[in-house]
Amino acid sequence: MRRPLVSSLLLVLSMNHLWAAEVIPIVDSQRAGVEIRHLPFPDTLDGDLKSGLSSRLLVRVTLEAESRPLARQAIELTTKYDLWDETYAMTVKVGDANIARQTLSRLSDVRERLDDLRLPNLFATGGLDTGRTLVVKVELLLNPIERERMEEIRKWVAQNTTHTAPVDPDRPASTAPLADSAADRIFNRIFEQYASGAEVAAGWHLSLESKPFTLKEPLHVRP
């Protein structure tokens, strides 16, 4: 009985490793970009995308050498569901420029686009030494909140928060005070980021980096 159980556990572990999020540089002779694969978005994302409100994914990509940044780009992907036409409008913005806009008919198409991001041509590489070891670092924020909005939210939470009384063990379970909600936990994470000095904060964020590479390695070239 133990052998099948061990085999199953090993299979699960190997699949988790296989589908772990990863950053893969996209390199050609003059430009570099990045693929970000298998992003582990929260389970609430599908509901957010179908809500009719804009969902924003902010991506900051940094090209580094010897732990020193050489170049950096900010990318914003905005998705909004049209409740009338039942289509999804996705806009990709790099820096201050809108570089792409497309209309998708299915939620699965949107998720395919977001789960495996392809962001080519972010950096010029013509002046870099092709033998220099480089790393691409990526930071992602889902539905970020700017500092200006944070104070408004902080005041709203303070005015609308009901402090939970201690649970009485003799009280029926059905009338016991509710524990903190998922929304409360998200707000707490946002406030922690805000308190640490972040310019933007989000309920979901992720930091990743690529394996070291050079511009002359064909392994990192993607069509």
8 A C-beta contact, residue 123 and residue 31: yes
The CA dihedral of 148, 149, 151, 154, to the nearest 10 degrees, is -160
- Residues facing residue 41 across a β-bridge: none
pLDDT per residue over 7-62, tens digit each?
A: 444 444 434 444 689 999 998 768 899 999 999 999 999 999 999 999 999 999 99
pLDDT per residue over 73-83, tens digit each?
A: 999 999 999 99
C-alpha count within 13 angstroms, C-beta hemisphere, residue 181: 6
pTM as predicted = 0.73
Q: Give the CA angle between residues 75, 99, 90 to the nearest 5°.
A: 75
- Residues facing residue 107 across a β-bridge: none
pLDDT of residue 112: 95
Judge whether residue 124 has pLDDT over 60: yes
